Amino acid sequence: MSFLIKDKNFYKVLFSIALPIAAQNFITFTVSLADSLMLGKVGEIALSGANLANQLFFILMIVTFGVTSAAMVFASQYWGKDDVFSMKRVITIMLRIAAVISVIASALAICIPETVMNWYSDDPAVIEAGAKYLRIIGWAYPFYSITNAMASVLRSAHIVKISIVIYLSSLIVNISLNWVLIFGNLGAPALGIEGAAIATAVARVVEFIILIIYLAFFEKKVHYTIKDFFVPVKDYVSAFVKTGAPVILNEAVWSIGTSVLSMIIGHISTEFVSANSIANIVWQAVWVVIAGMGNATSVVIGNAVGRGEEKSVILSKAKTIVLLSAAMGVLSAITLIIIRGPVINFYEVSEATKALAYDLIVSYAMIIVLQAMSMQYVVGIFRGGGDTKTAMLVDVLFLWTVAIPLGAFTGLVLGWAPPLVYIMLRSDELLKNVIGFFRLRSGKWIRDITVHPAE
């Protein structure tokens, strides 16, 4: 294919960013897997309670990702221009927004956990278990948001290895404390779901401490300090809002929409919730590489636009990445089918739940090929290229107008089987790819959105 990039350095840079991010994602996945497996041994109520309680964290995570992605649109292009001064101002805006959002999420989790759980389940036992989890984990939200946002935006400057150190340390702390506190080992009380929450909260604090130490003593490219957090940034706010607001709104509306999908599942049956929790864990095992590629794409495309590369070259890079992602999607689908049996058998849940999870993963495999490509369009190419409005429309329009109504109707009204309901809940992925394909070919998404008030 004539449009494929043949420059080996392009692939070297792309994968030097993507693979460490994938490794970080895999570590994060391992934490989720460990939590899920250990809570699964406590019982389906604890597993479902933690899963649904974490929907609030999921919203926080996605909105934080939106704020970070907005900052990365600018940071990647500024790094391409060697403008570290402006890059640091954008980081400051990002951190301030992330701090405010995380405090709001903490207040919800700590003050009204039962209300939050009522959004996702009608089961009193699940609500009670989830509320216990939220009251503890809510205290850790600000530590998570600041750490995740800062570690992520550093990728714009190709600083990726620190994320592995942070999250590997978190993995060790989390799993160790889970083993001690969930089951009451080493003389500790058996706290069940509350033990899982304490372990995760402590791990978030450890992540934050490692980040602060790294920024203070080891980071040599960006040189972001505490003083930078308090510098004036008003000259950058207007541009950040204009380009960044669609990204933040995108992730906020998308996360709420995805949370609504969980509400639909939660109101169909507790067995569907448990089976979906297991299926989602299997999906995460293969999704880590695709997500890493999406984040790397944003950096590579943003750097290229910032450097002022020819439009034809940037288009070729984007098309090459989409083709790579399609191949990754196919391999991921095959892997899902292969590993579903062994992973499901780790769980001590009912045979009916295992059978449902087994079938549900087939639906996941059918959708992941489309998800792999749409991830590159929305998160990598359009955002990296500066076209954040199109990325927002592609990502949320069909979710709310097609997927949610179809999922609710087929699941709650028609009573379709969960694997078919899941396909309806993800039916937006096909439409996202159609629009993404034609927008990519147009080249209208390539935009230099940087501002230089210091000049």
Tell me whether residue 184 is in a domain: yes
Tell me whether residue 230 is in a domain: yes
Residue 440, token pair as written in the block: 């990519």
CA distance 12 to 35: 35
Q: Domain count of the chain?
A: 1
Closest CA to 113 of 141, 150, 92: 141
Residue 409: Cβ-neighbour burial (10 angstroms; 0-12, 13-18, 19+): middle
Tell me whether residue 453 is in a domain: no
Tell me whether residue 292 is in a domain: yes
Tell me whether residue 148 is in a domain: yes
Closest CA to 291 of 367, 385, 363, 375: 375
Non-local (6+) Cβ contacts of 430 within 8 A are 370
Non-local (6+) Cβ contacts of 452 within 8 A are 83, 86
Non-local (6+) Cβ contacts of 315 within 8 A are 3, 440, 443, 446
CA distance 421 to 262: 12
Tell me whether residue 447 is in a domain: no
10 Å Cβ neighbour count for 395?
26
Contact 328, 14 (CB under 8 A): no
Task: Please give the angle made by the CA atoms of 98, 387 and 405, to the nearest 5 degrees.
Answer: 75
Q: Where are the alpha helices (DSSP H) in 218-350?
A: 226-229, 234-268, 270-307, 311-344
Contact 383, 391 (CB under 8 A): yes
> Which residue is listed with tokens 């089918």?
337
Tell me whether residue 2 is in a domain: no
Contact 384, 305 (CB under 8 A): yes
Contact 283, 36 (CB under 8 A): no
Q: For each successive 10 residues of the chain (455 residues), what is the average pLDDT?
A: 76 88 80 75 81 84 85 91 93 95 95 90 87 93 94 91 90 92 89 90 95 93 92 90 87 82 84 85 85 90 91 93 94 93 82 89 94 92 91 90 92 89 93 94 90 61
Q: Which domain holds residue 34?
A: 8-442
pLDDT at 83: 92
Region of residue 43 (phi > 0: left; psi between -120 and 50: alpha; otherwise: beta)? left
Tell me whether residue 241 is in a domain: yes
Task: Please give the angle made by the CA atoms of 202, 223 and 235, to the nearest 5 degrees.
Answer: 105
pLDDT at 274: 83
